[in-house]
Structure 1
Amino acid sequence: MKFESTQIIGKGRGKPMGFPTINLKIPENFELKNGIYAVKVIIENKTFKGALHYGPVPTFGELQKSLEVYLIEVTNNDLINQGIENLDGKIIKIEIIKFLRDIIKFKLVEELVKQIGEDVKNIKSLST
């Protein structure tokens, strides 16, 4: 599955956990099972590996669905060095590579951080 979206303002929780995400506008008529996915992210013809979250955020008590992607091993400076100054108004293309797991409600944020680290490790090991 492939789709396109644009960045929206998020809650800012990913960065302090060590996993800054790009929060995405959920496309109209979007049909994707809630979960965590390995994805390919394309911004201005540049391709990155990513971890995508789609669904509620139960660890933080949120039932409303969110769509956000973490670019693996990519910093803001990396984006700037590739000519991507900011993401405002940019089309972000996502290609789903693999479903990793269902969304889990963790009792502690530290457990969530550990699991995200495992998800990222699993995605890095995939050949895309």
Structure 2
Amino acid sequence: MEVIDLKLHDLPHLTDNYVVAIGFFDGLHLGHQKLIEEVKRVSVKKNYKSAVMTFDQHPLVVLKGEERRYLTSSLDRDRILEKLGIETLFVIHFSSEVASLSPEDFIAQYIIGLHIKHVVVGFDFHFGNKNSGDVHSLEGHGFELSVVPPVMYDEKVKVSSTLIKSLLHSGHIRDANKLLTRDYTITGEVIHGKARGRLIGFPTANVAIGKYCYLAKGVYGVEVEVKGKRYKGMANIGMNPTFNDIFEMSLEIYIFDFHEDIYGEIMRVFFKFFERPEERFNDVDDLIKEMQHDEAYIRKALDI
């Protein structure tokens, strides 16, 4: 997949014809995948190059200074889009100047100016200064337009990144995975932690969470990928309340039947199911007994 960076005053001159889905695409969930399906349909029918247009950061980070947490990193997004068969990814460098563009100027710069022949958006798409542009603003500019209806979670709620984050926060990992059509995944570096797991018979790999969305605190059945190989194990997300000496969310992985040194390696953690909430135990012995129970249950559930 070709990745083309778009800087407002240094836009490339392109000659290929493109069909492009526009959006932020955090998670690339079922709703987003409907847009991708339409892009691919048009691409085949019209012989256009299939493409997605997104932003290098969430607009509210620039506009309001909000701290945002994401379902997918930019590397995750690129990997998924390539797997879905997208040929080109346009990444707009978002700034206050880009945010202030009128809908007409946005269209002139990023659609007409880039030789885009067909645009695909969701029914509730907004763009331009103060989100003043909508799907109707895209009509009548010489390119074709597909407006994709929502994919519904139930009768009242549509599938969205916000909904999936809510499911993750509340421990409904299986439901979130269904809407993502894959296991929710965190990719991060294996970093040094307190090294307590080794002392109690459960050596863990601490994985940097970065800007990923927080899941419910507790114990999970997981699979991990590290150094090109896949393993099964259990994960704990939380603050380790039994020891009460960690002051930010941590992700610790106990990989079953694994004894390698992987500090500094990049690990992908695939969350399969939520086993139980985080608990505070009266002493370390009680914690060890519960972790033994966790391991037995998760091994059986993961069919080891």
RMSD: 1.4
> Corresponding residue for 1:105?
280
In structure 1, the partner of 2:254 is: 70
Question: Helix, strand or coil for the counterpart of 1:97?
Answer: strand
- SS where residue 92 of structure 1 aligns? strand
| Amino acid paired to 2:230 | T
| Per-residue CA distance 1:69-113 (angstroms, 9 max, x = gap) | 00112223xxxxxxxxx4243210110011000001000100000
Alignment match, 2:195: 12
CA–CA separation in structure 1 for the residues paired with 2:197 and 2:214: 24
State whether structure 2 residue 225 is matched by structure 1 residue 50: no
Distance 2:274 2:294 in 1: 11
Identity of aligned residues (%): 31
> Which one has a bigger Cα radius of gyration?
2
Q: State the secondary structure of the residue aligned to 1:117.
A: helix
Q: How many residue pairs end up in the alignment?
A: 119
Matched, 1:22 2:205: yes
User: What runs of 5+ residues in structure 1 fail to find an aligned partner?
Assistant: 77-85
Query: Once the 2 structures are TM-superposed, how far is the Cα of residue 123 of structure 1 from its aligned partner?
Result: 1.0
1:110-125 matched pairs, under 5 angstroms: 110-125=285-300
Could you tell me how far apart the structure 1 residues matched to 2:285 and 2:258 are? Answer: 22
2:219 and 2:235 in contact (8 A); partners too:
yes
Answering whether residue 210 of structure 2 is matched by residue 35 of structure 1, we say no
Segments of structure 2 that go 5 or more residues without pairing to the other structure are 1-183
How far residue 48 of structure 1 moved from its aligned partner, in angstroms, is: 0.8
Distance 1:100 1:90, change over 3 A: same
Name the SS for the 2:289 alignment partner.
helix
User: For 1:74-93, what aligned pairs fall within 5 Å after superposition?
Assistant: 74-76=258-260, 86-93=261-268
Per-residue deviation at 1:63?
5.1
- Report the Cα distance in structure 1 between the residues aligned to 2:233 and 2:252, rounded to whole angstroms: 10
Q: Distance in 2 between matches of 1:75 and 1:63?
A: 25
| SS class of match (2:239) | strand
Task: Write 1 or 2 for the structure with the bigger share of strand.
Answer: 1
| 2:281 counterpart letter in structure 1 | F
Taking structure 2 as the reference length, the TM-score comes to 0.38
**Whole-Å separation in 2 of the counterparts to 1:110 and 1:67:** 22
The alignment partner of 2:298 has SS state of helix
Higher relative contact order (CA 8 A, sep 6+): 1
Instruction: Write the letter of the residue equivalent to 2:209.
Output: I
